[in-house]
Copies of this chain bind each other. A is one copy, B any other.
Amino acid sequence: MRFLPLHPHQMKEDVKVTVKNILTNYLEQNQLRKTPERFAILDAVYSINGHFTLEELGDRLNDKNRFPVSRATLYNTLKLFMELRLVIRHRFQGSTKYEACYDNNSHSHQICTVCGRVTEFKSQKINEALASVHLKRFRKDGFSLYVYGICSTCQAKLTKQAMKRKLEKSQ
């Protein structure tokens, strides 16, 4: 008999097992091949906390896991994982980041449009609103919310600049 976890989310290792099962089932049901690359990449993805680039994923597999995988395969596999909703892709300005999203789909991103910094936040209200939205002829599977704005650091710099300009003009 297993005790229910105290934490609302699954433990990290449990999540790994679950997503591995999802992948296995999908591959079997679609007569695709259970290659070691696919499982190594999945494990690496679910070992990383937060966002990562394709580059970083490749490096991790190479350095830490001693399991080098080609760029092409990384692209192929991440595409497969996105279809399975095991991974989500964010195309931030300048860089594309990926993120494990099974059991990790309830946070949003705030993006400073000046410095480009991306921070995560959670909002119960937004999640509730999202859950309550009914979309006709559409099965919701996930979401990405990006809130754009200006962080206080950049705002301060802008204000300073504006003051300086005003001063120069009046002289």
Q: Is the CB of B125 within 8 A of A132?
A: yes
For residue A75, CB closer than 8 A to chain B, the reply is: no
Bound together, the chains give a CA A143 to CA B110 distance in angstroms of 9
What B residues does A133 contact at CB under 8 A? Answer: 121, 123, 125-126, 147
A145 to B130, CA, bound (A): 10
- A residues near B, CB below 8 A? 29, 82-83, 85, 91, 110, 112-113, 119, 121, 123, 125-126, 128-130, 132-133, 135, 137-153, 155, 162, 165
Cα separation A128 to B128 with both chains bound (whole Å): 11
Copies in the complex: 2
Residue of B nearest to A112 (CB): B138
Inter-subunit contact A137/B152 (CB<8 Å) = yes
Cα distance, A64 to B2, chains bound together (Å): 69
Q: Are A149 and B145 in contact (CB under 8 A)?
A: no
Q: Which 8 A-B pairs have the closest CB atoms?
A: A137-B152, A129-B129, A91-B91, A125-B129, A141-B149, A140-B149, A126-B129, A144-B146
Contact between chains at A147 and B143 (CB < 8 Å): yes
